[in-house]
Amino acid sequence: MDGNGDQPEEQETAKEQAEQQQQLQQLRRIDRSRSRLIVCFYTLPLYVIALILLLNEGRSVTAFMFVYMAVYAIFAVDMVVRVCPRCGEQFFVKAFFLNFFTRKCVHCGLPCQPRQEHKSASDDRKF
pLDDT tens for 59-97 read 989 998 999 999 999 999 999 999 998 888 999 998 888
Q: Which residues contact 83 (CB under 8 A, 6 or more apart)?
A: 89, 90, 91
CA angle 121, 122, 127 (to 5 degrees): 130
pLDDT surpassing 50 at residue 117: no
In a domain, residue 5? The reply is no
94-108 confidence digits (pLDDT tens): 888 888 788 899 989
Print the domain residue range for 98. Answer: 12-111
Q: Which residues contact 102 (CB under 8 A, 6 or more apart)?
A: 92
State if pTM tops 0.85: no
Please give the share of the chain, as a percent, with pLDDT higher than 70. Answer: 83
- How much is the pLDDT for 53? 93
In a domain, residue 100? The reply is yes
Into how many domains does the chain fold? Answer: 1
